[in-house]
């Protein structure tokens, strides 16, 4: 088996990390394993859930996720392409270096590249809970438009029971 | 304003163990870089937009808030706000272009241009996570009315640091855990907290060590879990830790040597002429247990919290002169404490 990191040498080291229950296993050559263990990021990450020691701050952790060996496994694309956010001018390199995203729009423009980090931090989760007013209104409007379409179809099909139900729903939403 | 009773002077639920509750919501405005990339003109715009959204709005809350530009505060005032957990040390270290909106009883402080454009923070005494969240939610809704916060259907509220994506919420409780700290129970519990999505730290947030057995427990995950579930999880975890602390306290209090520690602490606080903040932290911890468990009479836990706040170094300097040196503060501290404890006695 080849080392997962350099993909050149034979893997002869096995490293298992457990960051707050998020378990990862790595098969590495001795050189890459030593590098990983010596890297500051690894040290901090490794101790992330050891309590009573000074905690690493949120962004240190993200920074290490974005630019450490962890980030380079799997789907992390090259950091050097020149794309910049159209609102704040950040490129992906500056985001990775600082551990902070440039502006809200960066989440749209660098979505694919931020995804592995977000997944590492939060798992495969999708937001649930409170929604901002704008989106709540938008989704409400989308929903009423869809319901109105269904209502028209129900009337056309002379399904008056369903139509009455839909009409009440629309009224309630528009109230 | 100084006549107003502050939030920490009242006693909340389970205040024998829970000192206070805090909710923080991180929010941002579309169309601006996050604060670490903003120039002064942009910071000023965001300060004013947030200020006008709250104070210029029609909410009944608007008259209770005061807008404070951080750069107009002295280093001692900033340190005092940090000491009262109203602003973060990071905010105070670089006040330029930053501002805050502070409510009259200091239970709500909105930091503008800290790590995110808006950080709504609500504090309450004792265990009051639901109540604190309701208040934070209410203020968020008022601000969102005009500010239209940056939001994504999948990622939730968009934040400068991806660790806060989703609800942008950090819910935390500050606990006094001297007995479970002493007998090792806390160390065992703490090792498992990460697995259930919680974090434990010293009382001044990330990176700080605990002093006087005061610990902060908070949620770790913000994406994929609703505000309501976050609050309910933290409530469950805290209840379990409280139960363990109470159990440890029973054993501890049964020992004569601990009763001796509590009563000696009272003796020193009633008579000392010089008291450093370090010495006070240790005595305070013993005395808080003594008051909570009925070994000391003549003072409430709320009054005890008030005493604690009033002798913090920055608070003393704010109150009695910014030029005070450490030994002057130690004398003043002892004097204030003697006065606070003059009507107390062993029960």
Burial of B131 (0-12, 13-18, 19+ CB in 10 A): middle
**How many angstroms separate the CA of residue A99 from the nearest CA in chain B?**
7
Calpha distance A48→B150 (Å, rounded): 30
pTM: 0.76
* Beta-bridge partner residues of A91: A84
- Probe site for chain B from A23, A50, A52, A124 (most B CB atoms < 10 A): A52
- Please tell me if residue A116 touches chain B, with a CB cutoff of 8 Å: no
CB contact under 8 A, B163 and A121: yes
Q: Which chain A residues have a beta carbon less than 8 Å from that of B151?
A: 131-132, 134-135
Measured between alpha carbons, how far is residue A65 from residues A68, A120, B80, B195, B264 in Å?
6, 8, 35, 19, 50
ipTM of this complex prediction, to 2 decimal places: 0.82
Calpha distance B334→A53 (Å, rounded): 32
Q: How many helices (H) and strands (E) does chain A have?
A: 9, 2
Two tokens, residue A58: 């949120």
Nearest CA in chain B to A60: B161
Relative orientation angle of helices A58-67 and A111-122, to the nearest 10 degrees: 120
Nearest CA in chain B to A49: B194
Calpha distance A130→B24 (Å, rounded): 14
- Please tell me if residue A23 touches chain B, with a CB cutoff of 8 Å: no
**In sequence order, what are the residues at sequence separation of 6 or more whose Cβ sits closer than 8 angstroms to the Cβ of residue A160?**
A154
- Probe site for chain A from B136, B162, B186 (most A CB atoms < 10 A): B162
Q: Which residue has the tokens 């990176």?
A: B207
- Please tell me if residue A107 touches chain B, with a CB cutoff of 8 Å: yes
Supply angle C-alpha B289, B292, B296, rounded to 5: 80
Instruction: Return the biggest CA–CA distance within chain B.
Output: 64
Calpha distance B95→B68 (Å, rounded): 11
CB contact under 8 A, B36 and A118: no
Per-residue pLDDT of chain B (347 residues; tens, 9 = 90+): 344 678 777 777 888 999 999 999 999 999 999 999 999 999 999 999 999 999 987 778 889 999 999 999 999 899 989 988 899 999 999 999 999 999 999 999 999 999 999 999 999 999 999 999 999 999 999 999 999 899 999 999 999 999 999 999 999 999 999 999 889 898 888 888 888 889 998 754 444 445 688 899 999 999 999 999 999 999 999 999 999 999 999 999 898 999 999 999 999 999 999 999 889 988 999 999 999 999 999 999 989 989 998 998 888 988 898 888 999 999 999 999 999 999 999 98
CB contact under 8 A, B162 and A54: no
Find the CB nearest A132 among B31, B149, B193.
B149
Look at residue B243 and give its three-state secondary structure. helix
Calpha distance A62→A117 (Å, rounded): 7
Give, for A6, the enclosing helix (H) or strand (E). none
Query: CB pairs below 8 Å between A and B: how many?
Result: 145
- Probe site for chain A from B155, B180, B181, B225 (most A CB atoms < 10 A): B155
**How many angstroms separate the CA of residue B253 from the nearest CA in chain A?**
25
Q: Give residue A70's pLDDT.
A: 34
- DSSP letters, A48-107, are TT-TTSPPPPHHHHHHHHHHSHHHHSTT---S----B-TTT--BHHHHHHHSS-SSTTHH
Find the CB nearest A114 among B162, B209, B228.
B162
- Please tell me if residue A77 touches chain B, with a CB cutoff of 8 Å: no
Calpha distance B168→B157 (Å, rounded): 6
Calpha distance B113→B96 (Å, rounded): 10
Q: Which chain B residues have a beta carbon less than 8 Å from that of A126?
A: 154, 223-224
């Amino acid at each position: 088996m080849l080392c997962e990191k350099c993909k050149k040498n034979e893997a002869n080291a096995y490293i298992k990390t457990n960051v707050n229950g998020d378990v990862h296993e790595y098969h590495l050559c001795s050189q890459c394993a030593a590098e990983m263990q010596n890297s500051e990021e690894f040290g901090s990450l490794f101790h992330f859930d050891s309590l009573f020691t000074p905690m690493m701050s949120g962004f240190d952790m993200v920074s290490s996720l974005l630019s450490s060996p962890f980030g380079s496994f799997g789907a992390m694309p090259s950091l050097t392409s020149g794309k910049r956010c159209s609102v704040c001018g950040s490129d992906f390199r500056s985001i990775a270096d600082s551990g902070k995203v440039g502006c809200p729009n960066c989440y749209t423009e660098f979505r694919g590249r931020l995804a592995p980090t977000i997944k590492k931090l939060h798992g495969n989760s999708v937001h649930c809970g409170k929604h901002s007013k704008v989106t709540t209104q938008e989704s409400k409007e989308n929903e009423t438009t869809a319901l109105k379409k269904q209502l028209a179809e129900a009337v056309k099909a002379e399904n008056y029971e369903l139509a009455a139900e839909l009409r009440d729903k629309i009224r309630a939403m528009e109230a | 304003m100084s006549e107003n009773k502050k939030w920490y002077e009242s006693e909340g639920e389970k205040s024998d163990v829970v000192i206070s509750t805090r909710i923080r919501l991180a929010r941002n405005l579309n169309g601006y870089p996050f604060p670490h990339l903003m120039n002064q003109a942009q910071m000023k715009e965001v300060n004013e937009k947030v200020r006008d959204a709250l104070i210029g709005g029609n909410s009944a809350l608007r008259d209770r808030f005061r807008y404070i530009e951080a750069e107009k505060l002295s280093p001692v005032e900033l340190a005092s706000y940090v000491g009262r957990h109203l602003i973060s040390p990071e905010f105070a270290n670089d006040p330029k272009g930053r501002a805050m909106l502070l409510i009259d009883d200091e239970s709500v402080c909105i930091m503008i241009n800290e790590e995110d454009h808006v950080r709504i923070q609500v504090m309450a005494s004792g265990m009051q996570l639901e109540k604190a969240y309701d208040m934070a939610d209410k203020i968020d809704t008022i601000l969102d009315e005009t500010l239209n916060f940056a939001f994504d259907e999948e990622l939730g509220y968009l934040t400068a640091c991806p660790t806060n994506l989703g609800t942008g919420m950090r819910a935390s409780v500050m606990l006094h855990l001297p007995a479970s700290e002493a007998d090792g129970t806390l160390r065992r519990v703490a090792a498992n907290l990460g697995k259930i999505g919680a974090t434990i730290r010293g009382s001044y947030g990330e990176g700080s060590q605990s002093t006087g057995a005061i610990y902060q427990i908070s949620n770790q995950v913000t994406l994929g879990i609703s505000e309501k579930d976050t609050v309910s999880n933290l409530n469950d975890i805290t209840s379990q830790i409280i139960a363990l602390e109470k159990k440890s306290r029973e054993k501890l209090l049964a020992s004569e040597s601990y009763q001796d520690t509590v009563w000696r602490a009272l003796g020193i606080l009633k008579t000392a002429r010089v008291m450093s903040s370090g010495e006070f932290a240790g005595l305070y911890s013993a005395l808080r247990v003594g008051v909570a468990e009925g070994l000391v009479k003549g003072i409430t836990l709320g009054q005890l919290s008030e005493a604690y706040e009033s002798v913090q170094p920055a608070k003393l300097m704010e109150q009695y002169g910014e030029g005070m040196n450490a030994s002057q503060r130690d004398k003043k501290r002892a004097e204030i404490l003697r006065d606070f404890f003059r009507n107390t006695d062993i029960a």
